[in-house]
Structure 1
């Protein structure tokens, strides 16, 4: 399963910082992952496992969602996706 992500980068004129100065809280650090970016600025994700399934009941229809664990992501980073997209 390939998942495409587009990134938009825009420069800031001013940088505003709030909170205390000093070193970052270690629990807020994001682990660095090697990602291969294609020439069109997209990258692909690899599906590892489906963890759960849930049906959302709306007024006129039902939507089936699955909780997906992606390659190079931790368990707490699993995402809910549409079943038909999987």
Structure 2
């Protein structure tokens, strides 16, 4: 009787995950911990990578993925439990901005706006800092710069303030 109760409870929460060829999925990494590195180590290691497209249904619970060349040493057939469905969202797409590259393969950094202000007390001196968002970079890559230096190099940035 206890086994029947457990089975009924498990059946209520179980779902049959069926994917079609052409669907996009994220791939779970928990079984590969310590075997294959994906840029980070320890608790910062990503749980899922991808998304990857399903190219073939091998069996009821196994699918073949189209993996990038850097994962060529990994077998491309996975169990359905290793997947998480990828729902595409157009708000996640960042429009590509043209990047002007110099002949020496560098590009010029230009500030877009000031995100935040703060000051730091160092001994008997106070340094005013501004958080600058740079062109071709995300908000997470904004840097703290001295207000004096930024006013000297980029005066138009301070016209609104």
Normalising by structure 2, we get a TM-score of 0.32
Shift of 1:37: 3.8
Do residues 68 (structure 1) and 83 (structure 2) align?
Answer: no
Aligned length: 62
Assess, with a 3 A threshold, how the Cα gap between structure 1 residues 20 and 84 changes in structure 2: closer, same or farther: farther
CA shift, 1:52, in A, is 0.6
Tell me how far apart the structure 2 counterparts of residues 62 and 77 of structure 1 sit (CA, whole Å). 25
For residues 30-69 of structure 1, the aligned pairs below 5 Å read 34=99, 36-39=101-104, 42-69=106-133
CA RMSD of aligned residues (A): 2.9
Per-residue deviation, 1:44: 1.4
Gaps in structure 2 of 5+ consecutive residues: 1-33, 40-45, 51-96, 151-161
Q: Is 1:20 matched up with 2:35?
A: yes
- Larger helix percent: 2
Could you tell me how far apart the structure 1 residues matched to 2:109 and 2:136 are?
A: 9
Q: Distance in 2 between matches of 1:45 and 1:80?
A: 14
Ranges in structure 1 where 5+ consecutive residues have no aligned partner: 1-18, 28-32
Q: Which residue of structure 1 aligns with residue 143 of structure 2?
A: 79
> What is the CA–CA distance in structure 1 between the aligned matches of 2:110 and 2:123, rounded to whole Å?
33
Whichever of the two has the greater Rg, that structure is: 2
